[in-house]
C-alpha cells in the first residue's frame, strides 16, 4: 500500500493561487500551504467573470452565491453583448430555444431563418430581451419555460474575491534557498497580471465584447467601476506543454499563458482543480495519473485555443474544421472536452455571425406551419417571461436590502 498525499504546496501570489488553495483545502481536507513571492496580489480582469458553471463549482467548494454577491463591486450578469463589423449580437448564458422532435433548436431556427425569419437566435432566451432592456432576474422555476431556463453569472472584482478567499489564510514568503516541504507542488504563478479600469458606464447585466482587428476588447461592468481587458493572440512561443511532471503540476496561466475568453479563465482553473482532485495521486505521484491528467488537459487546452482563435483572427486548423462543418449544416462534432462543448461552439459561432448554409433535414419532421406556430408561441412566452424581469437597478436594490447593505447602490 502506498502513502497518501498529506501536504500540498501552492506557489503564487495571485487570485489563481488563492483560489486553488481555497478549493483544495475545502474539498480534500488535506493540509494546503501557499507560498507567495509578493505581498501584493497579482490580479487580472480575466478573473472577473464567473460563469454559471463556475458559480456552481464554487458553491460545491463552499463559496456560496450569497457570499459572492456580498463582495464589493459584484454585479450579476446574463451574458455578453458582442460587436463585430458594425453588428451587435447577444450571447446569453444558458440555452436558447427548445429542442423539438429530437432535433437541436438551432436547426429549427436556421430553417426558419432561411425561410425569412428575422429574429436572432439569442432572442429565444429570456436573457436576450433582459440584456436589451437592462432588466434582470435570477433563474428560478417561476421564469422557466418548459425545459428552457436562462442562466446567470457574476462579475466580481478580483481584489474583492482575493480578499475573501485569502481570509485567515496566511501565505508563506518565498525566499532564495527555500525548500518547500510538500508531497505535491502546484505552480499557480500568473504571468500576465494587470487591472485596467475604465470610466463607469451604465450598470448593465452583461459584458461588452468588441472584436477589433486581431484583438478582442472586453468591458466588464462592476458596481462603481468597469474593468477593461484586451485579449490578443498568444506569442508564437506559447505552446501547449504537459503541465504535470513528477510531483509538480502547473495550473492556470502558469500552465498555459495563451489568451482566454472572459469567464473561461476561472472556469478553466476550477476544471484543473477538479481534475487534479479526481486524479489525486499518492505521495509517489505515479506516472499513470500524471499521464492521464496531461492527456486530458492538453485536449481541453487545444479546444479552448481553437475557440479563442475565432475571436482573434488567427489560423487554427481545429477551429477551421469545426467552423467548416458548422457552416455547412449547423453540426458540431461530438467533443470529448468539458470546458468547451458542442453548444459553446454553436453559440459562439452564431454570435460571431457564422450562419450555416443548411440545417439538419430532420427539422422537417415539424412541417412548415407547425414550425412557424411553435417558434411564434415560444417567442411570445420568452418575451412575456423576460418582460416580467424587474429593472436591473430595482433588482440590485432588493439584493442590497437582502444583504443588509444599504449604502452601496447602482
Residues that bind another protein (CB under 8 A): 1-2, 4-5, 27-30, 102, 114, 277-282, 286, 288-289, 291-292, 295, 324-325, 328-329, 331, 333-336, 357-362, 364-367
Output the smallest distance, CB 54 to another protein, in A.
17
Check if the beta carbon of residue 41 is closer than 8 Å to that of residue 13. yes
Sheet holding 196-198: strands in order across?
87-92, 79-84, 207-212, 215-221, 226-231, 196-198
Which are the contacts of 141, defined by CB distance < 8 A and separation ≥ 6?
Answer: none
Q: What is the separation, in whole angstroms, between the first and last Cα of the chain?
A: 58
Of the pair 318, 357, the CB lying nearest another protein is at 357
Pick between residue 221 and residue 356 the one whose CB is nearest to another protein. Answer: 356
> Contact 293/278 with Cβ under 8 angstroms?
no
Q: Which is nearer to another protein, 4 or 246 (CB)?
A: 4
Q: Which is nearer to another protein, 28 or 316 (CB)?
A: 28
The residue with cell 500524471 is 290
Rounded CA separation 333/322 (Å): 7
DSSP 282-343: BTT--HHHHHHHHHHHHHHHHHHHHHHHHHHT---HHHHHHHHHHHHHS-----S-SSS-HH
Cell of 221: 461592468
From the list 54, 138, 123, 65, the residue with the least C-alpha distance to 92 is 123
Sequence-ordered alpha helix ranges (H) in 115-253: 126-133, 158-166
Residue 371: CB minimum distance to another protein, A: 11
The values of phi and psi at residue 213, to 5°, are: -65, 110
Residue 254 CB, shortest distance to another protein, in Å, is: 23
Pairing of the two strands 87-92 and 79-84? antiparallel
**Shortest distance, position 28 Cβ to another protein, whole Å:** 6
Nearer to another protein, 198 or 291 (CB): 291
Closer Cβ to another protein, 256 or 359, answer by number: 359
Q: How far is the CB of 124 from another protein (least distance, A)?
A: 21
Amino acid at each position: 500500500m502506498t502513502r497518501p498525499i498529506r501536504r500540498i504546496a501552492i506557489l503564487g501570489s495571485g487570485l489563481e493561487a488563492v483560489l486553488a488553495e481555497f478549493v483544495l483545502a475545502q474539498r480534500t481536507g488535506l493540509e494546503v500551504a501557499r507560498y507567495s513571492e509578493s505581498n501584493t496580489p497579482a490580479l487580472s480582469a480575466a478573473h472577473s467573470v464567473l460563469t454559471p458553471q463556475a458559480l456552481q463549482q464554487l458553491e460545491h467548494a463552499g463559496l456560496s452565491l450569497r457570499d459572492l454577491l456580498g463582495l464589493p463591486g459584484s454585479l450579476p450578469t446574463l451574458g455578453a453583448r458582442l460587436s463585430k463589423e458594425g453588428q451587435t449580437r447577444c450571447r446569453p448564458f444558458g440555452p436558447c430555444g427548445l429542442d423539438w422532435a429530437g432535433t437541436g433548436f438551432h436547426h429549427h431556427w436556421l430553417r426558419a431563418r432561411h425561410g425569412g425569419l428575422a429574429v436572432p437566435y439569442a432572442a429565444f432566451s429570456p436573457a436576450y430581451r433582459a440584456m436589451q432592456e437592462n432588466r434582470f432576474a435570477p433563474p428560478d422555476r417561476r421564469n422557466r419555460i418548459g425545459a428552457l431556463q436562462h442562466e446567470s453569472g457574476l462579475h466580481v472584482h478580483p481584489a474583492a474575491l482575493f480578499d475573501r478567499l485569502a481570509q485567515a489564510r496566511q501565505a508563506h514568503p518565498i525566499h532564495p534557498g527555500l525548500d518547500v516541504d510538500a508531497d505535491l507542488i502546484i505552480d499557480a504563478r500568473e504571468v500576465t497580471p494587470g487591472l485596467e479600469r475604465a470610466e463607469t458606464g451604465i450598470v448593465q447585466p452583461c459584458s461588452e465584447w468588441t472584436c477589433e482587428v486581431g484583438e478582442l476588447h472586453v468591458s466588464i461592468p462592476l458596481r462603481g467601476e468597469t474593468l477593461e481587458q484586451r485579449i490578443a493572440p498568444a506569442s508564437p512561443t506559447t505552446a501547449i506543454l504537459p503541465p504535470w511532471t513528477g510531483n509538480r503540476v502547473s495550473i492556470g496561466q502558469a500552465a498555459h499563458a495563451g489568451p482566454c475568453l472572459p469567464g473561461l479563465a476561472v472556469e478553466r482553473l476550477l476544471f484543473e482543480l477538479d481534475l487534479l482532485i479526481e486524479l489525486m495521486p499518492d505521495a509517489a505521484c505515479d506516472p499513470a495519473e500524471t499521464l492521464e491528467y496531461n492527456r486530458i488537459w492538453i485536449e481541453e487546452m487545444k479546444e479552448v485555443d481553437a475557440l479563442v482563435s475565432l475571436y482573434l483572427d488567427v489560423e487554427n486548423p481545429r477551429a477551421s474544421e469545426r467552423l467548416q462543418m458548422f457552416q455547412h449544416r449547423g453540426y458540431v462534432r461530438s467533443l470529448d472536452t468539458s470546458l468547451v462543448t458542442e453548444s459553446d461552439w454553436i453559440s459562439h459561432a452564431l454570435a460571431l455571425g457564422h450562419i450555416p448554409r443548411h440545417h439538419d433535414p430532420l427539422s422537417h419532421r415539424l412541417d412548415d406551419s407547425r414550425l412557424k406556430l411553435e417558434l411564434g408561441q415560444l417567442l411570445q412566452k420568452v418575451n412575456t417571461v423576460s418582460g416580467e424581469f424587474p429593472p436591473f437597478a430595482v433588482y440590485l436594490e432588493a439584493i442590497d436590502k437582502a444583504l443588509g447593505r444599504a449604502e452601496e447602490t447602482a
